[in-house]
Structure 1
C-alpha cells in the first residue's frame, strides 16, 4: 500500500475504542474500515462514534453497527483532477482509492492535490502522426485534434499536465500540423507556453527531439499525442528523479489468458503442465521521462525512435527504469479505442 495501514485503517471487527485510538493518531477525524482481505467496506468518523455513544453504545462494542457502509470513493483509474473535483463537490477533505477488486490502495487528501508547484521541466508532445488507422476521421484533421468529450485529445493532454504544474510545452508537428498551431497558437489562451517543431520529413518518435536538444537542461517528459491518461505526472517525474534513472518508461500491465493447458517440453519430453495459465507483461505506455545527458544519442535528420533511445541508453550503461501506470490509460490508435475514450472521459475525468 502507498500509506500506513496502521495510521489510517482499522479492521471491520474492531471495537469503538480501537477506532478512537486510530482516529486520534491520524488526526484526520476518521478511519477506513477494511476486512481481512484488505477490501474497503466502510468509513468511520469521530462523529459516528459520538452518535453511537449518545445512543448508549459502549466503547467496547464492535464498530459493525457504527461505521458507514455507503461510503464515497474513487478507483485507481480516476484522474487526480476528477478526485479533486469529486472532493470539492462533496465537501470532503479526503477520499479512499480502491482497485477493481475493491482493495484499498491509496488515500487522496484534498490539501495535497489542490494545487501543484509550477515546474520548468518541458513536456515534449509527439503530434505528427498520420492517424492512418483512424481514417476516415483523420482525413481532415490530425489525430491529436479528434475530440474526446468536447475537447481535442491534445487539449486534454495539456490540461492534465497543467494540473500538475507543467507550463512549458514543445509540440512536434507534421501531418496537418497547421490545424494544431492555429488552435493552440502560443498557448497563452490555455495558460501555458507552447513552442512548435515542424518536421519536414518523418523522423520517428524521437528524431524531432534532436532539433531542440539545447533547450533541455532538466529531465523532460515525452508523450505520444494520442494518449489519454490520468497519470500523476508529478509522481512520475519524482519517481524518475528519486531512482536516479536516465530514462523512465511509463508501462501498463498486460495479461494474456491462455484457455488451454500449456505443456512445457524439452524435445519430446514433457517437463511440466500449466492449466490455463495467465502470462503478464509490461507494455510501453507511450510516455517517458528523459534526462538531458542521453539526448546526445538521438540521430539528427534520421528516423530515430524512443525504443532506439532506450537501447542506446542501456548499451552505454545509462539506467533505464519503469513506472507502472495504475491510473486510466488509453492509446487512441483505432476507431474502437476512440469510441471507448469518448465513453470513459465522463467516467474517469469529469464529474
Structure 2
C-alpha cells in the first residue's frame, strides 16, 4: 500500500526555518520531520511513498537522492567518477517525488498524485506532524466500515495552561490534552481512489469542499486516537518536539534504527 505525503506548503509561521527549506525538511534531532514521518510508516511495513512537492521541492529531491551516500561508507574514484557504497543504508523505501506546483492547494496536490497511486486503497498524511498512531489498527478500522475515507481524529495538547476557576480562585491549573474543545482532524488518512472524484482541481482545498462533501455523503469516518499527536506549525511546536527528542522521550519514535 502506498503512502502519499503532502510536502509542498510554504510554512509561513516557521519563516525563520523555511526561508531556505520547505517545512517538511525542518529538523528534529538532526533529521527532517519528513524522515520521522516516513520512519513511522516504515515501521508498520508501508515503504512506498509518493511525495507531493511544491515550495523548495528541490531541497527534498536532493535529500532523497543523496540519502544513501550520506548514510553509508563510500569509496570514491575521482579519476573515473565511480562511487562504491559500503554498508549501505538499510532503509528499503521507494519514493516517488512529484512536482505539484507552488500555489497548488492541498486538494489539487492530492489530485495530481492520482496517476501514481493506482486504483487501490492508499494512505495520506501531511509532512509536518508526528504521532504514535497504530497504522495497522487504523487500516483495520477503515476496512471494517467500507466507506471512502477515514481520518484520524485527535485531541491536541492545549496551547495554554487550562484553568478551572471558583470565582477568582484557581482551583486547577494544568497543561494537558484538550477535552472540552472536542476532536480535530489529525490527518493520517486512509482513502479509497474514489476520493479523487471529489476534488475539482488545483484550486481545491482538501479540508473544504471534498471533505465536506464526503461527510455529507456519509463517506467520511473518524478513527479516534487518544495518544500522542503533535503538528509543527510554529517555532514553539518545533522546540517542543526537539526537547522531547533530546530528552529521549519522543512518543512518536516507535521504530528501531
TM-score (norm 1): 0.56
CA distance in 2, matches of 1:158, 1:279: 32
Which of residues 218, 235, 240 is equivalent to 2:142? 240
- 1:183-202 deviations in Å (ceiling 9; x for gaps): 11398863111112212242
Which of residues 210, 224, 229 is equivalent to 2:131? 229
- 1:226-258 deviations in Å (ceiling 9; x for gaps): 011121112111111112231111111258856
Q: What is the RMSD of the two structures over their aligned residues, measured on CA atoms?
A: 2.6
Q: Structure 1 residues 229, 254: CA separation in 2 closer, same or farther (over 3 Å shift)?
A: closer
Structure 1 equivalent of residue 118 of structure 2:
216
The answer on whether the counterparts of 2:8 and 2:102 sit within 8 Å (CA) in structure 1 is: no
Structure 2 equivalent of residue 300 of structure 1:
201
The answer on whether the counterparts of 1:185 and 1:194 sit within 8 Å (CA) in structure 2 is: no
Structure 1 equivalent of residue 25 of structure 2:
145
Structure 2 equivalent of residue 338 of structure 1:
238
The answer on whether the counterparts of 1:186 and 1:195 sit within 8 Å (CA) in structure 2 is: no
Q: Structure 1 residues 152, 139: CA separation in 2 closer, same or farther (over 3 Å shift)?
A: same
CA distance in 1, matches of 2:66, 2:203: 28
CA distance in 2, matches of 1:305, 1:146: 24
CA distance in 1, matches of 2:66, 2:114: 20
Structure 2 equivalent of residue 289 of structure 1:
190
The answer on whether the counterparts of 1:226 and 1:333 sit within 8 Å (CA) in structure 2 is: yes
Post-superposition shift, 1:290? 1.2
Q: Structure 1 residues 319, 336: CA separation in 2 closer, same or farther (over 3 Å shift)?
A: same
Structure 1 equivalent of residue 15 of structure 2:
135
Greater CA radius of gyration, 1 or 2?
1
TM-score (norm 2): 0.76
CA distance in 2, matches of 1:341, 1:255: 12
The answer on whether the counterparts of 2:156 and 2:229 sit within 8 Å (CA) in structure 1 is: no
Post-superposition shift, 1:178? 0.4
Structure 1: 5+ residue stretches without partners: 1-120, 263-275
Whether 1:251 aligns to 2:153 is: yes
Post-superposition shift, 1:318? 4.0
CA distance in 1, matches of 2:185, 2:38: 21
CA distance in 1, matches of 2:43, 2:103: 31
The answer on whether the counterparts of 1:126 and 1:171 sit within 8 Å (CA) in structure 2 is: yes
Structure 2: 5+ residue stretches without partners: 69-88, 173-178
Q: Structure 1 residues 337, 254: CA separation in 2 closer, same or farther (over 3 Å shift)?
A: closer
Post-superposition shift, 1:259? 4.0
Post-superposition shift, 1:203? 2.2
Larger RCO (alpha carbons 8 Å, 6+ apart):
2
Post-superposition shift, 1:154? 0.5
